[in-house]
Amino acid sequence: MKLSIYRFNPETGEPPRMQDYDVAPAAGDKKLLDLLMRLRTADDSLSFRRSCREGICGSDAMNINGRNGLACLTALEGLKEPVVLRPLPGFPVIRDLIVDMTQFFAHYHSIKPWLIAEEPPPERERVQTPDERERLNGLYECILCACCSAFCPSYWWNPDKFIGPAGLLQAYRFIADSRDVATAERLDFLDDVYRLYRCRTIMNCTEVCPKGLSPSHAIERIRIALLKRSS
């Protein structure tokens, strides 16, 4: 199978280049990550992140044939050759397919991704009705792989000011939580031309989410919550 992979080594000072590889998948190689691991036994200078190899850790997000995705969830079968692999668009490249996610996680941190509840915790858990729990579905599953934010034109042009689809989906996860008491403060923070309103509903985020989530829908819910509050 033919691959063309983005290579960058910060130590040489040379600009990034594309390197061609030809590697035969062994029996049992089902996903792109399997092939990358095989490739790395032949060329141990090739750098990429990976951990769980089953779409839970979100480490191996990359641009695969022009679309962001997880290597471990991308089937080899049906991939157009040469398979062109590049780092996540718009993120500073540390080495090969490894990007600097500092800013991405700073945005995540800014939305206070934890439950804010004033009263001391009860003896047992903070209970929710089945309906209240249902509202978290499609939100809590986010693995913060950054496929969405790195495919969002609004995030490309304003990575420092726009929170991006991943952070906004996480923000709505806590707004929607019946146990959280800080909804008003959370909405105050998001009510900003850059943080929330840079979203132009292009929906690239929802197109590429490897978990099948819809950040654009979460953003729509935040906007509606703000609208209802202002009227």
Partner 1 sequence: MARPVRPLPVFLNLLRIRFPVGAIASIAHRVAGVLLFLALPPLALGLDASLRSEAGFEAMRDLLSSPWRALVGLILVWAAAHHLLAGIRHLLMDVGIGGGLAQARASARAVLVVAVLLALVFAAGWLT
List residues near partner 1 by CB under 8 A: 6, 8, 10, 13, 15-16, 63, 65-67, 84, 86-94, 100, 151, 153, 156, 200-204, 206-207, 214, 216-217, 220, 223-224
Encoded tokens for 26: 């062994």
User: What's the CA gap between 209 and 10, in Å, rounded?
Assistant: 30
Residue 80, token pair as written in the block: 């157009």
The CB-of-102 to partner 1 minimum distance in angstroms stands at 11
Query: Is 91 within 8 Å of 101 (Cβ atoms)?
Result: yes
- Classify strands 98-99 and 61-64 as parallel, antiparallel or unpaired: unpaired
Least spacing, CB of residue 114 vs partner 1, in Å: 26
Phi then psi for residue 75, to 5 deg, are -70, 140
Closest CB to partner 1 among residues 26, 75: 75
State in angstroms the smallest separation of the CB of 142 from partner 1: 16
Q: Which residue has the tokens 């998001």?
A: 190
Q: Which is nearer to partner 1, 67 or 229 (CB)?
A: 67
- Taking the complex as a whole, how short is the minimal distance between the CB of residue 36 and partner 1, in angstroms? 17
CA dist 23 and 2 (Å) reads 7
Q: Sign of torsion, CA 215 48 38 57?
A: negative
Shortest Å, Cβ 89 to partner 1: 5
CB nearer partner 1, residue 170 or residue 216: 216
Of 29 and 220, which CB lies nearer to partner 1 in the complex structure?
A: 220
Q: Where are the alpha helices (DSSP H) in 137-182?
A: 153-157, 164-175
Residues 6 or more apart in contact with residue 197 via CB below 8 angstroms: none
At closest approach, how far in Å is the CB of 74 from partner 1?
14
> What φ, ψ does residue 3 adopt, rounded to 5°?
-130, 150
Judged by CB, which is closer to partner 1: 139, or 182? 139
Q: Please say which residue, 124 or 228, places its beta carbon nearer to partner 1.
A: 228
For the chain, how big is the Rg over CA atoms in Å?
20
